[in-house]
Copies of this chain bind each other. A is one copy, B any other.
Amino acid sequence: MNEIKNRLDALRLEMLKQNLDAFYISGTDPHSSEYLLEKWKTREFITGFTGSYGVVAITHEEAGLWTDSRYFIQAEEQLKGSGVKMFKHREPDTVSPEQWLSEKLKPESKVGLEAQTVTVNGFRALNRELGAKGIALVKTVDFFDKIWNNRHEIPHSLVYDFPLKYAGISRKEKWEQLAAELKKADADFHVISMLDELAWMFNLRGDMVNFSPVFTGYGVVGKNEMLLFTKKTGIQPQLLAQLEKEKISVFEYENFSAWLNETKGTKIFIDPSTLNYSAFEILEKNGNSFVEGTSLAALQKARKNSVELQGFSNAMVKDGVAMVEFLYWIRQNIGNSPITEYTVGRKLDEIRSKQEGYKGESFPPIVGYKNHGAIVHLSVGTYNALPLEPEGILLIDSGGQYINGTTDITRTIALGEVTAQQKIDFTLVLKGMIALSTVVFPVGTAGCQLDILARKPLLERGLNYGHGTGHGVGHFLNVHEGPVSIRHDFNPNPIEPGMVFSNEPGIYRNELYGIRIENLIVCIEKEENEFGKFLGFETLTLCPVDTSLIDFELLEPAEKEWLNAYHLRVKNELMPHLNKEHQSFLAEITLLV
Q: Which residues of A contact B (CB under 8 A)?
A: 438-442, 444-446, 448-453, 455-456, 459-460, 462-464, 488, 490, 492, 510, 526-527, 529-532, 534, 556
Q: Which residue of B lies closest to A527 (CB)?
A: B462
5 A-B pairs with CB atoms under 8 Å apart are: A438-B460, A439-B452, A462-B526, A464-B531, A464-B532
- Which one of B439, B451, B460, B531 contacts A449 once the chains associate, using CB atoms below 8 Å? B451
Contacts of A510 in B (CB 8 A): 530
Give the shortest distance, in Å, between A348 (CB) and chain B (any CB).
30
Q: Shortest CB–CB separation between residue A382 and chain B, in angstroms? A: 32
Q: Indicate if the CB atoms of B441 and A459 lie closer than 8 Å.
A: yes
CA distance A199 to B439 in the complex (A): 43
**Contacts of A453 on B, CB cut-off 8 Å?**
452-453, 456
Task: Give the distance in Å from the alpha carbon of A492 to the alpha carbon of B448 in the complex.
Answer: 11
How far, in whole Å, are A529 and B458 apart by their CA atoms in the complex? Answer: 13
Partner of A488, one of B438, B445, B460, B526: B445
B449:A464 contact, CB within 8 angstroms: no
C-alpha spacing A451/B456, complex, angstroms: 13
Counting chain B CB atoms within 10 Å of each CB, the highest count among A439, A460, A556 belongs to: A460
Report which residue of A438, A490, A531 has the largest number of chain B beta carbons within 10 angstroms of its beta carbon: A531
A452 touching B462, Cβ below 8 Å: no
B residues within 8 A CB of A444? 488
With a cutoff of 8 Å between Cβ atoms, the chain B residues found around residue A463 in the complex are 531
In whole angstroms, what is the CA distance A490 to B530 when docked?
A: 23
How far is the CB of A245 from the nearest CB of chain B, in Å? Answer: 40
Q: Closest CB of chain B to A587's CB: distance in Å? A: 32
Q: Enumerate chain B residues within 8 angstroms of A490, measured Cβ to Cβ.
A: 446, 490, 492
Q: Within the assembled complex, what's the spacing in Å between the Cα atoms of A438 and B453?
A: 13
CB atoms of B556 and A462 under 8 A apart: no
CB distance from A427 to the nearest CB of B (A): 16
Closest to A528 in B: B462
Q: Which residues of B contact A455 (CB under 8 A)?
A: 442
Q: Which residue of B lies closest to A461 (CB)?
A: B440
Q: Is the CB of B492 within 8 A of A462?
A: no
**Complex-state Cα separation, A446 to B450, whole angstroms:** 12
Q: How far apart are the CA atoms of A543 and B267 in the complex, in Å?
A: 60
A319 to B150, CA, bound (A): 79
The 8 closest A-B pairs by CB, nearest first: A440-B459, A462-B527, A464-B531, A463-B531, A464-B532, A440-B460, A449-B452, A462-B529
List, in ascending order, chain B residues with CB within 8 A of A532's CB. 464
CA distance A462 to B492 in the complex (A): 23
| Alpha-carbon distance between A357 and B425 when the two chains are bound, in angstroms | 50
Out of B438, B440, B450, name the residue touching A462 (CB < 8 Å): B440
Nearest chain-B residue to A460 (Cβ)?
B440
A439-B452, A462-B527, A462-B534 are known contacts; what are 9 more A-B pairs with Cβ within 8 Å? Answer: A438-B460, A439-B456, A439-B459, A440-B460, A449-B488, A453-B453, A453-B456, A462-B526, A462-B529
Tell me the bound Cα distance from A449 to B490 in angstroms. Answer: 9
Interchain nearest-CB distance for A579 vs B (Å): 40
Taking A452-B449, A452-B452, A453-B452 as contacts, is the C-beta distance between A488 and B442 under 8 angstroms? yes
Chain B neighbourhood of A442, CB < 8 A: 455, 459, 464, 488
Q: Which residue of B438, B450, B529 contacts A452 across the interface (Cβ within 8 Å)?
A: B450
Assembly CA distance A527 to B462 (angstroms): 7
CB distance A531 to B448 under 8 Å? no
Q: How far is the CA of A252 from the CA of B450 in the complex (A)?
A: 50
Minimum CB–CB distance from A290 to chain B (whole Å) comes to 16
Closest-CB distance, A487 to chain B (whole angstroms):
10
Q: Which residues from chain B contact A527 at a C-beta distance below 8 Å?
A: 462
Residue of B nearest to A510 (CB): B530
Residue ID in chain B nearest A464 by CB atoms = B531
Q: Closest B residue to A446 by CB, please name it.
A: B490
Contact A459 B556 (CB under 8 A): no
Chain B nearest Cβ from A552, distance in angstroms:
16
Q: Which residue of B lies closest to A450 (CB)?
A: B452
For the complex, give the distance between the alpha carbons of A531 and B460 in Å: 12
Contacts of A445 in B (CB 8 A): 452, 488
CA distance A280 to B563 in the complex (A): 59
Chain B residue with minimal CB distance to A132?
A: B186
Q: Which residues of B contact A441 (CB under 8 A)?
A: 452, 459
**Pair B530/A459 contact, Cβ less than 8 Å:** no
